Amino acid sequence: MSIKDKYSTVLGLMREFMAREVVVREERGTLIIRGNVRNKHQKQLILEKADEVNVENGWDIDIKIRVKN
């Protein structure tokens, strides 16, 4: 399973929320995700989903989501 597959639910939420300026790349075994969403609720849901995956598999993600209207 690739690291992008592991976090596919996080990336799916970002697509669902129509996140803008999304950057997804892998560096040295860490998935780096950046993007902008419309509100704090969307940001919180994305971060909670990332935490959910990490609890099961260890921390291998660097995620920064900003709220921008």
Q: Residue 69: is its pLDDT beyond 90?
A: no
21: left (phi over 0), alpha (psi -120 to 50) or beta: left
Side chain identity at residue 54, one-letter code: N
Q: Residue 57: is its pLDDT beyond 70?
A: no
Other beta carbons within 10 Å of 43? 18
| List of domains in the chain | 3-67 (3.30.460.10)
> What pLDDT, on the 0 to 100 scale, is given for residue 53?
87
pLDDT in tens, 13-48: 999 999 999 999 999 989 999 999 999 999 999 999
